[in-house]
Amino acid sequence: MPEKLGVEHPGTICFSIAVNDGYPPRIGGLAVAAHRISHYLADAGFDVHVLTYGVGQTTTTSTREGGLTVHRVVGEPGFFEQAFAVHQFMRKLDDEVKFDLFHGFFLFSVPTCMAVARTLQNGKRRPLIASIRGSDATMCMNIPQIRPQMLAALRDKHCWVTCVNQTYLDSVGTEIDIAGRTSLIRNGAPVLERQWRLDEGNVSVVGSSGEFRKVKDIPLLARAFCGMRPELRRKLLLVGAFTDPLEESWSQTLLREAGLTDAVEVTGFMPHAEAVAQLMRMNVYVQSSAFEGLPNALLEAAATGVPIVATAVGGVKEIFTDGYDALLVPHADHVALTRAIERVIEDRELALRLAENASKLCARFSREIERDAWVTLHRRLIAGDDAS
């Protein structure tokens, strides 16, 4: 393992993502964000060790990747068995590296990090950052097997809680007193050179992008697409792939019963830059999620300038303004979603206005702002200063 650096070295961080798709080579939103933020810290001089479950591996590996060390830990099949394997590895690694701070990126990883962070180093407790990303705010908090340990970790005064939206911070705050130890750090929007324009190639193409898990509610989008007037409905372009077989089956059934199977294109997973380029093929980008933190794919659509229609959930409703930089609708209302999509396709001036204003929004949520917030928080907590 790399040795800790001299006096100016800001500290050594254990950055743990206790989910199977938490870090590349996976390309879901959590993996993309974890990769981006861990590299912010490495670039700022921290000695960063990323711990995640090995994907498609049979042995645990530790490799240097772009200035940090990635440990892909393999355990027995099953979430809790794998979490135990990460815990055992983290303890052993801490004995060797002696971490200054632990960062549980996604709530599943927080109890494991806390168990190790509680051990003293030079007579002191180590700080812990618990990052709420999205679905974990609702999913993790309601799993009986892990809820007690998670609540205990979040109650600890040495645990600093971050989130990409205020809605989920407030939700956690109704159960636990986290006042005075929270940070709202939103996902940063990328700077993209290619800008969207409406042309014959993308007119009337409805699209979405990402890893199509249950939370993304693609069946809702399928219902909305089926309900569109035929003269406005050309293609449903899904850039990515389904990871939930039931969601895929239900979406296909809805489209098949409407006779629209041939009007759908599912690209499958592709390199990130290619997936972003696919946004240019859309007339309107739709985020039909049941709940969200602040989706990276949506920010990429905004940066590209694609007109956006989205469900008013989580961080989406906090940064987008209905009728100004997006059209927002309630979740589960497929009729409202259909009408919003049709409005964008019918009204060229509306589409161009939404596209322009969405691009401007990205300047308020830049990657530089995100980077500075994460680096500052880690520095202050390691130094023992008030991070607020």
In this prediction, residue 107 carries a pLDDT of: 86
Q: What is the pLDDT of residues 319-376, one digit of tens each?
A: 999 999 999 999 999 999 999 999 999 999 999 999 999 988 988 899 999 999 999 9
Distance of CA 374 to the CA centre of its chain: 15
Residue whose entry in the numeric block shows the structure tokens 């372009």: 237
Q: Give the pLDDT band (50/70/90) at residue 224.
A: very high
Q: Which residues of the chain does CATH 3.40.50.2000 include?
A: 12-188+367-383, 205-364
Q: What is the pLDDT of residues 266-324, one digit of tens each?
A: 999 988 889 999 999 999 999 999 989 999 999 999 999 999 999 999 999 999 999 99
- Name the DSSP letter for residue 210: E
Residues 146-173 as b/e (b if ≥16 CB within 10 A, e otherwise) read beeebeebbebebbbbbbbbebbbebbe
Q: Is the pLDDT of residue 3 over 60?
A: no
The Cα–Cα gap between 221 and 338 comes to 8
Q: Give the pLDDT band (50/70/90) at residue 2.
A: very low
Instruction: Please state the pTM of the whole predicted model.
Output: 0.90
Q: Which of 33-47, 165-179, 300-314, 330-344 has the lowest mean pLDDT?
A: 165-179
Which residues are within 8 A (CB) of 194 and not within 5 positions of it... i.e. 6 or more apart?
Answer: 277, 280, 304
Most confident of 20-24, 56-60, 336-340: 336-340
What the block records as the tokens of 125 is: 């407790």
- Name the DSSP letter for residue 107: G
In this prediction, residue 1 carries a pLDDT of: 37
- Residue 49's nearest CA partner among 7, 82, 96, 84 is 96
pLDDT more than 90, % of the chain: 71
Class of domain 12-188+367-383: alpha beta
**Residue 383: how many other CB atoms lie within 10 Å:** 13
Q: What is the pLDDT of residues 121-154, one digit of tens each?
A: 888 899 999 999 877 777 666 777 778 888 889 9
The Cα–Cα gap between 288 and 219 comes to 9
List alpha helices for 175-309, DSSP H. 218-226, 245-257, 272-277, 296-304
Count of CA atoms in the C-beta half-sphere (13 A) of 13: 33
The Cα–Cα gap between 288 and 332 comes to 9
Q: Which of 63-72, 74-83, 316-325, 332-341 has the lowest mean pLDDT?
A: 74-83
What the block records as the tokens of 148 is: 């007690």
The Cα–Cα gap between 286 and 365 comes to 20
Which residues are within 8 A (CB) of 262 and not within 5 positions of it... i.e. 6 or more apart?
Answer: none
Q: C-alpha distances in angstroms, 134 versus 106, 152, 171, 366?
A: 8, 20, 12, 19
In this prediction, residue 49 carries a pLDDT of: 97
Mean pLDDT over residues 23-36, rounded? Answer: 86
Q: Which fold has domain 205-364?
A: Rossmann fold (3.40.50)
In this prediction, residue 367 carries a pLDDT of: 94
Ramachandran region, residue 384 (left: φ > 0; alpha: ψ -120 to 50; beta: rest): left
Q: Give the pLDDT band (50/70/90) at residue 194.
A: low
* Per-chain mean pLDDT for the chain: 90
